[in-house]
Structure 1
Amino acid sequence: MVKLRMKKVLSLFLLLAVLTGVVQYGGTAVASAARSDFTIIGGVLTRYNGSAPAVTIPNTVTSIGDYAFKEHTEIENIKIPNSVTSIGKYAFQECSALKKIIIPDSVATIGIYAFDQCTDLKSVTLPNKLTSIGIRTFNECESLTQITVPDTVTSIGNYAFSDCSGLKSIVVASAVKSVGKYTFDGCSDLTISGYTDSFIQTYAAKNKIPFKSIGIGSLTLDTKSLVLAPRSSYTIGANLVGSGVSVRAASTKGKVVKVTKTSSKTFQLTALKAGKSDIVFTVYKNNKAIASTTVKVESKFGAATRGNSTRKTIKF
């Protein structure tokens, strides 16, 4: 009888926890956001109306709108689902208690001032589709100590990391070709890491910022392996980063799979008959091979084109 009563009490407690949005972590009660706390219009999260320190954005959201979480000083942790493709301007501005943010690779754009004055932000993971870091994106994130800029980023805007007084290391292993005014102003202990002879090395020298080389460059392929039917084709993306480097691709069995360079960043594979072949991508500097990687291709009749689309990156 006592055990039955205990079970009823426990069930009632769990029900109340769900209804009130309270979850127990290691003996500490942490409030989590409820679905009703979000205003979502056409997939855009226009405003968060809750007050919980732990927030999980619903996977029905495709875009985080401008100002959506602005000045929510109670938020400490937030989870962004893979359904999100963009983050608007000022989206998390002055979320001063936010400690960590992982931005999934589905996100291609982040608006200006998005994390401005997130003073307690210690860890940021940027997405691999990102092409630019805008004006004051991480301005005054004074608790941020290190960050890695993805290889896809080509520009960093004005004041993007200004007054990040705790920032000691930034890896710009990318194709960055422009850095705005006062981007690292107030980052007195900063060391920039990047590729030898790159734009960012020249920038660091010009602005008297310590620089550390991490090598010559990198090659990233968007496919690891591939299956396709004879007389069908597939285009592989190949992103090469580095100064004075080039990439060539060749098939180990040219009668099975033919490879053609279609642009500076793409190669077309065409299956000619059933069989298997390796496509060898070789990186050259001053006409000397310095690195290589391989994509395995199988051609078979009746096959639907499919592949392992996990990125494959080599550094050299």
Structure 2
Amino acid sequence: MKYRLKRRIGMILILAMLVVMVIPGDISFASADTDGFVIENGTLVQYIGTENAITIPGEVTSIGEGAFQNTSITSVSIPDSVTSIGVSAFAGCTNLTSVTIPASVVSIGTSAFALCSGMTSVTVLASTAIPANCFTGCGSLSSVTLSGGISAIESEAFKNCSGLTSFAIPAATSRIASDAFDGCTELVAINADASSSFFVTYDGCLYGKTMLNLLRCPQGKTSISVYSGVTTIAGGAFYGCKIGTVVLPASCTQIATNAFEGSDISTLKIGSGSATIGDQTGWNISAIEVPAGTTAEALQSGGYGDIMTVTGGGSNGGNNGGTNGDNNGGTNGDNNDGTNGGSGNGNGANGGTNGTNGGTNGGTNGGTTGGSGTNGGNVTVSGTNGGSGSTRGTTVTVSADGTTVTHVKDDTPTTGPATNAKCIFCLGVILIGVYLILSSKKQEYQEAISQ
């Protein structure tokens, strides 16, 4: 009977495909080993074990998205076989205290270690980019060691890492997002590698290599000496800073939009060259001082008139006097005075001293910044300016207080293309088997009627 043969074939097909779907191997569903690692085709899909101090097996080549997210692990050893770490792979591991990312890793997913609030140290041996929100919310993080090959530090990579006091920028880093260190309230120095072709550090602040652009003042600084040759204050440069007085040199011609976003500045003293101030969001400023008879005076009609004060006769004397004191013999030391300006001579200290004879700011600022004039003179700059970083933005949900990041974990195991293709194939064969069984029954019924 043909219908019996069809029925048997259908049943065999169904049973065979069910067996194939549960057999472990390269085309099988992800399976957990005895240590709780769910691994498929070299990807660690999920950790479901109970151990807190873990060593990832050497067969793993990739740590999948959310693989350890919100687990209670306290330490992790990542083998050199791993080449990628997925999105939010370790996010929310609040008991994890340190991590070393091996040189074998070529890509790290966004938010990979976000909200690891107990983490105190990070070592990245890999030569790759630090992605957006990678260490966001790691409030205990106080030590970060990056390899010299780190190419970029992306948006909010270290946001709200309030334990950081200084940060070293590797030589190969060519891009740093303007908001990479937002919320690092104790950070007082961003130190570019001396051999960097993209960035340079002056008074703890980050500048483009030519020092024409001030890119970022660390949020923990309470005072600042702006480099005398700077022309632009970049967007986000003073984000969240709380500084009493900021004095800009005559060379500064532009204050970018949101350069002072969210900052608390008592007094902003603008040099004679400052002509434009972009819109500033949420800044708290008490006074803006501009020199009389300069283009900066036009700012009075640009929405800042109620807090603006016009000062007399070259109010930039204090800044230039101090900055140029050691190099030019205090020539500019007394510009602020307008009457005894020519009396400044000798060195920065004398420039500042003479400034007190006739200026409001000449003596104070000239003398105060006189010593730093030597450093300004010794800086050798070349090449084009390093980029100012990306615009400010978020890639995860941040609460109103700026401290909590919400990550939604998908607990569905990722089975990968090979497994999905196998499932489709098996289901297709099973449907054929079902069809053969049903059609054989129909054929059997028809034969019974015909008899």
TM class by shorter-chain length? 0.5 to 0.7
Q: Which residue of 2 aligns with 1:56?
A: 55
Alignment of 1:79-118 (within 5 A): 79-118=77-116
**Conserved? CA contact 1:162–1:187, under 8 Å:** yes
| CA deviation profile, 1:226-248 (whole Å, cap 9, x unmatched) | xxxxxxxxxxxxxxxx9869xxx
Match of 1:282 in 2: none
Please state how far the C-alpha of 1:174 moved relative to its aligned partner. Answer: 2.1
Contact 1:83-1:106 at 8 Å conserved across structures? yes
Corresponding position: 1:136 with 2:133 = yes
Query: Are the aligned partners of 2:168 and 2:193 in contact in 1 as well (CA < 8 Å)?
Result: no
Report deviation, 1:82: 1.2
Where 1:132 maps in the other structure, the secondary structure is: coil
CA apart distance, 1:51: 2.6
Corresponding residue for 2:191? 193
Cα distance, 1:201 vs. partner? 2.6
Deviation at 1:137, TM superposition (A): 0.2
1:66 paired residue number: 65
Task: Name the TM-score, length of structure 2 as normaliser.
Answer: 0.38
Which of 206, 226, 229 is matched with 2:215 structurally?
206
**C-alpha contact 2:178 2:216 (8 A) present in aligned 1:** no
- 1:105-156 per-residue CA deviation (whole Å, 9 max, x = no partner) reads 111111110000000001111023x221100000011111121222211211
Contact 1:132 1:153 in 2 (8 A): yes
SS at match of 1:121: coil
Give 1:154's aligned residue: 151
Secondary structure of 2:200's match?
helix
How far is the alpha carbon of 1:206 from its aligned partner?
2.7
Decide whether the 8 Å contact of 1:159 with 1:180 is kept in 2: yes
What is the CA distance between 1:198 and its match in structure 2?
A: 4.7
The code of the aligned residue for 1:86 comes to S
Task: Choose from 73, 76, 81 the match for 1:75.
Answer: 73
Partner residue, 2:291: none
Q: Residue type of the partner of 1:63?
A: S
2-side partners of 1:157 and 1:77: how far apart? 26
Counterpart of 2:95, as a letter, is: A
CA shift at 1:175, angstroms? 1.8
Find the residue that maps to 2:117 and give its secondary structure.
coil
- Choose 1 or 2 for highest CA Rg: 2
Q: CA RMSD in A?
A: 2.5
Q: Distance in 2 between matches of 1:139 and 1:91?
A: 13
* Distance in 2, Cα, partners of 1:206 & 1:104: 30
Determine the structure 2 residue equivalent to 1:177.
174
Report the counterpart of residue 301 of structure 1 in structure 2: none
1:41 maps to 40
Name the CA distance, whole Å, in 2 between partners of 1:175 and 1:65. Answer: 28
Please state how far the C-alpha of 1:64 moved relative to its aligned partner.
0.5
Q: Can you give the 5+ residue segments of structure 2 that lack an aligned partner in the other structure? A: 1-31, 207-213, 225-379, 384-451
**Cα distance in structure 2, aligned partners of 1:94 and 1:102:** 17
Whether the 8 Å contact between 2:178 and 2:215 is mirrored in structure 1 is: no
| Matching of residues 278-297 of structure 1 within 5 Å | none
- Is this contact kept in 2: 1:57–1:81, CA < 8 A? yes
Q: In 2, distance between residues paired with 1:69 and 1:177?
A: 31
Alpha carbons 1:150, 1:172 under 8 Å: kept: no
Aligned counterpart, 1:216? none
Letter in 2 for 1:84: V
Q: Give the match's secondary structure for 1:133.
A: coil
Q: Which has the higher contact order (CA 8 A, sep 6+)?
A: 2
Q: Percent identity?
A: 38
Shift in Å, 1:36: 3.6
Q: Deviations over 1:44-75 (max 9, x none)?
A: 00000113211111111011011100111x11
CA distance in 2, matches of 1:198, 1:243: 10
Q: Letter of the 2:122 partner, please give it.
A: V
- TM-score, normalization: structure 1? 0.53
Aligned residues, how many? 181
Structure 2 CA distance for partners of 1:199 and 1:166, relative to 1, 3 Å: same
Q: Which has the higher strand share?
A: 1
Measure how far apart 1:193 and its partner are.
Answer: 1.8
Measure the CA separation in 2 of the matches of 1:138 and 1:173: 17
Within 5 A, what are the aligned runs for 1:231-270? none
Aligned equivalents of 2:139, 2:167: Cα separation in 1? 14
> 2: distance between equivalents of 1:53 and 1:36?
11
Q: What per-residue deviation string (whole Å, max 9, x for no partner) do you get for residues 196-250 of structure 1?
A: 4753336724321279xxxxxxxxxxxxxxxxxxxxxxxxxxxxxx9869xxxxx
Higher helix proportion, which one? 2
